[in-house]
Structure 1
Amino acid sequence: MRTFAAVAGLGCAALLVTGCQPGTACPAIAQAPVVALTVAREYAGSVGTLRLKACQDGRCSEAELELRPGSTPVDQGCEPGPYDGDRPCSATASPDGTLVGMLLLDPLTDSPVEATSSGTGPDGLPLPVRTVTFTPRAAYPYGAQCGRFISAGVLLDAEGLQQAG
């Protein structure tokens, strides 16, 4: 009887230990294979239309970008939670004077990208053609077990085109 009690006790302990293992939950978020372009606030008034060409691993994509107003997040704080536990928090977006657009480049890898921008000003006159070669950034925002996210972004200002920080 003691053997049965010992085996049953160990079995229950094993179930409790394995049942309490932390699981790996990864968010179901798809990555968009795009090169994001931001026009700096100080330069946004100089841009009427903008065309972007991006080449990677012998593949190129080119299009006139649909420019939209950019924004920055504004923290609105957190509500007090019961017993100092999880609390509802919120943020909102505030226009920041930039313009943003995206160019599909599928598949997007971590190989170098050559990006070239061209376009016109509000007066219809051509903007200077700007080119930059940069390496997209790879990150594991949800941990290595959830996969790698690759981001490619450039910033256009009066000085030229550069990799976004």
Structure 2
Amino acid sequence: MVSRFEHAPARATPFRTAALGAVLLALAACGSENGARPCALVYSPTGISIDIAAPDASRVSSASIRACWGGTCRTRHVALHPSSTSVPLGCDGDGPDSACGASASPDGGRHGFAAITDLPASPVQVTLTLRDRHHRAFLDQELRLTPKPAHPDNPHCATGVQAALTVANGQATAR
């Protein structure tokens, strides 16, 4: 016996499917309010990056960062990886449909990232320590820097707070 509250299952008719598709397409085309570009689902982690140029990079066996603000300090070991530079391979033409290529070439440098999830977007005192293979510190430098919100694709879509350090000629600088 079928109760009066039970209904037959709804079937998708071509009209319903087309109507639903049109509604979804219209919503997707709307984007966001006031014509602003919607935020992409791009993740930007919070922390401090380090780029070490050659020949300093060849001396580095380990790196650490100590960041302090408002009575809070965080120390992170930084895993370093070989860095590379982009080498153009040319284009197959000059028109708008031309394809161009590039290749990554090792540049003798190293880079890493210290994830500090609660890093503020305000001044931070940072100590960068680079050690050689004998664990001797050959760079132990304090810097003051101000991390900034990262905007991967849209200035209204910050997803993390970041700062960057560069080491060249035995000296660290904030960028």
Q: Is TM > 0.5 for Structure 1 vs Structure 2? A: yes
Aligned residues: 144
- Determine what percentage of the aligned residue pairs are the same residue: 25
* Match among 58, 61, 71 for residue 45 of structure 1: 58
Instruction: Give distance in 1, aligned partners of 2:93 and 2:111.
Output: 35
Residue 106 (structure 1) aligned with residue 117 (structure 2): yes
What does residue 60 of structure 1 align with? 73
Cα offset, 1:45, TM superposition: 2.2
Structure 1 residues 31, 130: closer, same or farther in 2, change over 3 A?
same
Equivalent position to 1:130, from 110, 135, 141: 141
Superposed counterparts of 1:84-123, under 5 Å:
84-85=95-96, 88-123=99-134
| Cα distance per residue 1:61-110 (max 9 Å; x no partner) | 212221111112334455559xx555555433221111111111113332
Classify 1:116/1:23 alpha carbon distance in 2 versus 1 (closer, same or farther; 3 Å).
closer
Change (3 A) 1:23 1:49: closer
- Matched AA of 1:160: Q
Once the two structures are superposed, the pairs formed by residues 121-160 of structure 1 within 5 Å of their partners are 121-138=132-149, 140=151, 142-147=153-158, 150-160=161-171
Instruction: Assess, with a 3 A threshold, how the Cα gap between structure 1 residues 151 and 119 changes in structure 2: closer, same or farther.
Output: closer
**Structure-2 change in CA distance of 1:101 and 1:135 (3 Å):** same
What is the TM-score with the length of structure 2 in the denominator?
0.64
Task: Please give the root-mean-square deviation of Cα atoms over the aligned residues, in Å.
Answer: 3.1
Instruction: Describe how 1:6-17 pairs up with structure 2 within 5 A.
Output: none
Alpha-carbon offset, residue 163 of structure 1: 0.5
Deviation at 1:149, TM superposition (A): 5.7
- Gap change, CA 1:57 and 1:74, over 3 Å in 2: farther
Q: Is the 8 A contact 1:71 1:93 kept in 2?
A: yes
TM-aligned CA distance change 1:57 to 1:73, over 3 Å: farther
Letter in 2 for 1:110: A
Q: Verify the 8 A CA contact 2:60 2:131 in the aligned structure 1.
A: yes
Deviations 1:8-49 (A, max 9, x none): xxxxxxxxxxx7996734321011112111122121122222
**SS of equivalent to 1:44:** helix
What is the CA–CA distance in structure 1 between the aligned matches of 2:91 and 2:138, rounded to whole Å? 45
The one-letter code matched in structure 2 to 1:50 is A
Give the match's secondary structure for 1:37. strand
Shift of 1:148: 6.5
